[in-house]
Amino acid sequence: MQPMAVLERLSAQGHEQVIAFQDSRSGLRGFLAIHSTRRGPALGGVRIMRYPSEALAFEDALRLSRAMTLKTALADLPAGGGKAVILDRPGLRRRAAFEAFGRVVEGMQGRFHTGPDVGVRPADLEAIARSTSHVAREGDRKLGDISQHTALGVSHAMRACFELAGIAPRGARVVIQGAGNVGGWLARILAEVGCIIAVADVNGARARRVAREVGGVALPPARALTTACDALAPCALGGVLDARSISRLRARIVCGAANNVLATPEDAVRLARRGILYAPDYLANAGGVIRGAEYELLGRTQSWTSLEKIHDRMIHVSRLASRRRISTHEAAERLALARVRAGRGKRAR
């Protein structure tokens, strides 16, 4: 991508800043994207993946950072959105690389606060914390388990979807795609209210373990999107819902924890045309960032009540979409962007 094309992309999507960083001693390479700080410091995790190319890593940072702005605005937090991606590649000295990344975060002087995302381990967060205080670490008793908070938020969004669709939670069939930390917590939470759980994961042993724990069944990954169910909960990587997969869905609701679950914005319209209720990902999966913002920015102790508001937001977005005859994705985005334009501490409904 030519330099001018990059700048045009940033301008079109409203990004404030993107940093390409590297550290030759550790092998660190990656991107840090700041989408918006209009409402407050940018919040966003760091992920480490084996990207096919640097260009795709750059695109991921842009897409995820914008989604974080929408997430924080919709949750009415005094914060904006950012994201960091690290290229996992041969020769990477992991501990030194994350310490170097911490220095990048520290150099932002509080404009960016980070935490765990895909591929990041507790030891990586400890390494970041050796260089900066602007990182949320797992195991902090005051912060709590971010994965649990995320899953609880998704459960509140799903409860709203059940109400909107006229489905009783007890006996509702839920397919959870992805049995990692968040997917596992979501399975346990939903099983407690009587949902019938099926779990799919590329790691078959992990799927079977979670399924056994909640009295559910494990599915082959290829069947996750085609199994008949009341609700599908994508809790793995994004981009799984596109024109082809949506045509094969046998779910009444899509509500999960994965970021950027739609391949394109048009896929939200495809879901609506099929009569499938979609909970926008950045609305449903905001529990973790809500808890992180409360702890890092607002100094609050652990609270579950703020997560319950995700239920009300889902109801509001669904009704807004119905009134304006638009998709829930577009309704949520309009609401979030209006709040961003209004700036810090102001609301737009």
- Residues 64 and 182 grouped into a single domain: no
- Residues 118 and 184 grouped into a single domain: no
Tell me which amino acid residue 252 is.
R
- Residues 64 and 205 grouped into a single domain: no
- Residues 183 and 47 grouped into a single domain: no
- Residues 175 and 120 grouped into a single domain: no
Tokens of 254: 């899509």
Look at the chain and report how many structural domains it folds into.
2
pLDDT in tens, 244-280: 999 999 999 999 999 889 999 999 999 999 999 999 9
Residue 105 maps to a domain: yes
- Residues 247 and 328 grouped into a single domain: yes
- Residues 314 and 224 grouped into a single domain: yes
Predicted confidence band of residue 138 (pLDDT cuts 50, 70, 90)? low
- State how far the Cα of 293 lies from the Cα of 286, in Å rounded to an integer: 11
Check: CB of residue 201 under 8 Å from CB of residue 254. Answer: no
83 is catalytic: yes
Tell me which amino acid residue 166 is.
G
Q: What is the CATH number of the domain that holds 71?
A: 3.40.50.10860
pLDDT in tens, 295-342: 666 655 555 568 999 999 999 999 999 999 999 999 999 999 999 998
Q: Angle, to 10 degrees, between the axis of helix 328-342 and the axis of helix 266-273?
A: 140
Q: What is the CATH number of the domain that holds 225?
A: 3.40.50.720
pTM, full prediction: 0.86
Predicted confidence band of residue 347 (pLDDT cuts 50, 70, 90)? very low
pLDDT in tens, 195-240: 999 999 999 999 999 999 999 999 999 999 999 999 999 999 888 9
Residue 261 maps to a domain: yes
Tokens of 316: 């509001």
Domain that holds residue 64: 3-129
Q: Indicate which residue of 71, 83, 142, 346 is catalytic.
A: 83
Tokens of 326: 């638009």
Residue 101 maps to a domain: yes
